[in-house]
Amino acid sequence: MNGVCAMTSYFERSLKVVPGGVHSPVRSFKGLHTSPLFIERAEGGCLYDTDGKSYIDFCMSFGPLILGHKDPEVEESLRLALGKGWTYGASERYSLELAEYIVERIPFVQQIRFVNSGTEAVMTALRLARGYTGRDKVIKFSGCYHGHCDSMLIKAGSGVASLAEASSLGVPLGVTQDTYVLELGDTRRLTQLFDEQGTKIAAVIIEPLPANNGLLIQDPQFLRELVNHTKRFGALLIFDEVISGFRTGFGGMSSALGINPDLVTYGKIIGGGLPVGAVGGKHEIMQMLAPVGDVYQAGTLSANPLAMVAGLATLKKLNVDFYARLDKYSNAIVELFRRALLPRIVSEIISYRSLFWIKSTNFYELFQRTLQQGIYLAPSACEVGFVSGAHCCDKVMESLEQKLRW
Ligand SMILES: *Cc1c(COP(=O)(O)O)cnc(C)c1O
């Protein structure tokens, strides 16, 4: 069977048994007139599909793989842990070590609880904020993504500014009524909303570096305003650092900005490519969680030992030298893309540390051409690109330069 045929048939088989053929919508290549690749294996900075074709991977599983695929040290740690078992439903040392490793290095994370995904982390942070403050309302911002829990699938309404609408079917009206949606950077509306409703607001949640609808770098002054307003009214500030945590430096955007949010959510890198999310923050707030406090949260596979091991092995490699090298190579990679792509099908490339966003005038064309050349970008115009430690070598740079010569 030739390759094209094999690929089509995997996707066709998948379409029969899985909605849209995929287990997360952004994997579907929707609107790109191509069947999604089926991946056979991956190594370093490269993906290999079931046809044996290789791609330099800038999707990197949408962010978790800051060291690249199959990092040898993560692999070795996983092998050792695997030999002992893979879930106990009881306390073990790996989650203790990962918790200590983070709490010792990120000052405002005084306690942490591990869950299985970024969505779960956000869900828990919101419940915790509501439980702690005894209030219901939450403020979020257009352009930020916080996973798929009901109260975050809300967009600004078409009518009165502060009224929100669900962005998915199946979200109850009551939930939409407890969420306000504001525009990023709109301090005027923010002040107004706090002046009117401040004592009812449990939390403001934001991606301090919004990276799910392109890369929307925020004015630090705007983020400081969030601190002022939440402090003034006793609401909590939640930084959703599921993408930016351990990415823009070990302490994420919180450390970069010198802002201590009341609660932070992590995901992606924290599990090194295995499913982990976490909520962390002030001791007093974290103590509201069960079994100490009355805010309930639980998980059969939470802090799964293998996932903890992958996370710990990953985080242990993220030192100052690692980030310096990653930044240096990221800049060089973005420069290569700029030279090859501007200005015809790409209007601008925005980057921050090892994240970049190619703003294209025709994403379909950009995606097809790069894919043909053996470069895998995330299959959506809204998604950012991720550089990993495995991209930081001359071999990858030379290969990329070659592929971009068209
Ligand atoms: C990816 C992401 C989430 C959701 O995490 P999942 O693990 O996909 O549930 C939440 N918030 C932000 C900022 C994210 O980037």
pLDDT in tens, the chain (406 residues): 444 554 458 999 999 999 999 999 999 999 999 999 999 999 999 999 999 999 999 999 999 999 999 999 999 999 999 999 999 999 999 999 999 999 999 999 999 999 999 999 999 999 999 999 999 999 999 999 999 999 999 998 766 555 689 999 999 999 999 999 999 999 999 999 999 999 999 999 999 999 999 999 999 999 999 999 999 999 999 999 999 999 999 999 999 999 999 999 999 999 999 999 999 999 999 999 999 999 999 999 999 999 999 999 999 999 999 999 999 999 999 999 999 999 888 999 999 999 999 999 899 999 999 999 999 999 999 999 999 999 999 999 999 999 999 8
**pLDDT score at 203:** 98
CB 349 within 8 A of CB 337: yes
DSSP E strand boundaries for 268-396: 277-281, 346-352, 355-360, 375-376, 385-386
**pLDDT score at 1:** 43
**pLDDT score at 2:** 46
State how far the Cα of 386 lies from the Cα of 388, in Å rounded to an integer: 6
Active-site residues: which are they? 145, 240, 268
**pLDDT score at 164:** 84
**pLDDT score at 161:** 54
Ligand 1 centroid to 269 CA: how many Å?
A: 11
Q: Is the dihedral of CA 379, 381, 384, 387 positive or negative?
A: positive
**pLDDT score at 7:** 46
Identify the residue whose C-alpha is closest to ligand 1 atom 14: 242
Q: What are phi and psi of 56, to 5 degrees?
A: -75, 125
Ligand 1 centroid to 277 CA: how many Å?
A: 9
> How many residues does this entry show for the chain?
406
Ligand 1 cavity residues, CB under 6 Å: 117-119, 122, 145-147, 207, 212, 240, 242-243, 267, 277
Say whether 230 sits in a helix, a strand or coil.
helix
Which tokens belong to 177? 């009524």
State how far the Cα of 85 lies from the Cα of 235, in Å rounded to an integer: 43
